[in-house]
Amino acid sequence: MWTDYFARKYLFVTENLEQKEITVEAPETIWQFWDNPVGRTTPEIVKSSLKTVHKFKGNFDLKVLDKSTFGNYSDLPAYVLDKFNKGQIGYAHFSDLLRLNLLKNHGGIWLDATAYMTDFVPAYIVEEDFFVLLTDKLTQYPYSFMQNCFIRAKKGSFLCDAWYQMCIEYWKDETEISDYFQHQLMFKALISNQSKGKALFKLMPQISEDGIHQLEGDNLLKKFEASEWERIKKAFFFQKTTYKVPVAFDYSGTYFAELSKGRA
């Protein structure tokens, strides 16, 4: 339902959008965002995850932005910033807009701060003008269509630019989200209904996101096993994690505990 609605309401902003020249900054940047609400500190598993990105960033620069620094690199519209500051756009959905703005302006890679890297970004992904993972068997909400925790976009990517334009157009008149996964559904609307978007999406490698979900849900709280961890590391070059775990729980000996300590 929402995909069709987003196509009808917001696809018009892409009609006159042309494919720009693809350029690559030297070095390119891996972009991340983490900002602690007042009174909170960064969870250990987030600290460890950020350290893994530094370890496996390869030839990329790494910039971990927060509320005080993202403005040095982005040019989000004033109405977006105003609604973010008023709390009408929450952190998660603000981050959705920020990642596309950064990639539109600079290119590079977006990676969520809770992504735990176990290897370098594969060359076949780095070489793509645009790349995202797609939902599959292990996706909790498969209607979301794609995964936005990792986005590879070179500067000038039509898919990135068009997706961004649709997303910010939404917030011109709205003060709340329509669906938690509207960022992903905007992308689905783009590549399902826009001719250039559809053609470019078909050129992108169609890869399942199942590999990054090996520690999702209860798996993160299971007892750590070294042999299983070796298998998990080979499933993909990073794993999605979370700091949102039950408070009254003994985490000792779990994957959550080991990754929080920086398990290699």
pLDDT tens digit string along 187-243? 999 999 999 999 999 999 999 999 999 999 899 999 999 999 999 999 999 999 999
Residue 260 lies in a domain: no
Residue 234 lies in a domain: no
**Averaged over 247-264, what is the pLDDT?**
92
Give CA–CA dist 156/163, Å, rounded: 12
Who's near 104: CB < 8 A, 6+ residues apart?
153, 155, 157, 160, 161, 164
Per the structure, the count of domains in the chain is 1
Residue 254 lies in a domain: no
Extract the tokens encoding 189. Answer: 């609307």
pLDDT of residue 1: 82
Give CA–CA dist 238/49, Å, rounded: 10
Give the global pTM. 0.97
The CA-to-CA distance between both ends of the chain, in Å, stands at 43
DSSP character at residue 89: S
**CATH no. for residue 90?**
3.90.550
What dihedral do alpha carbons 135, 2, 108, 72 form, nearest 10°? -140
pLDDT of residue 40: 86
Give CA–CA dist 212/208, Å, rounded: 9
Given a contact cutoff of 8 angstroms between Cβ atoms, the answer to whether 46 and 262 are in contact is no
Q: What domain range is 169 assigned to?
A: 2-210
pLDDT of residue 225: 98
Q: Is 227 exposed, middle or buried (0-12, 13-18, 19+ CB in 10 A)?
A: exposed
Residue 190 lies in a domain: yes
**Averaged over 70-95, what is the pLDDT?**
97
Give CA–CA dist 175/87, Å, rounded: 9
Residue 17 lies in a domain: yes
Q: For 106-146, write each residue's pLDDT tens digit.
A: 999 999 999 999 999 999 999 999 999 999 999 989 999 99
Give CA–CA dist 159/7, Å, rounded: 15
Give CA–CA dist 87/82, Å, rounded: 9
Among 14, 8, 3, 5, residue whose Cα is nearest residue 166: 14
Give CA–CA dist 65/70, Å, rounded: 5
Residue 137 lies in a domain: yes
Residue 256 lies in a domain: no
Cα angle 251-45-262, degrees, rounded to a multiple of 5: 90
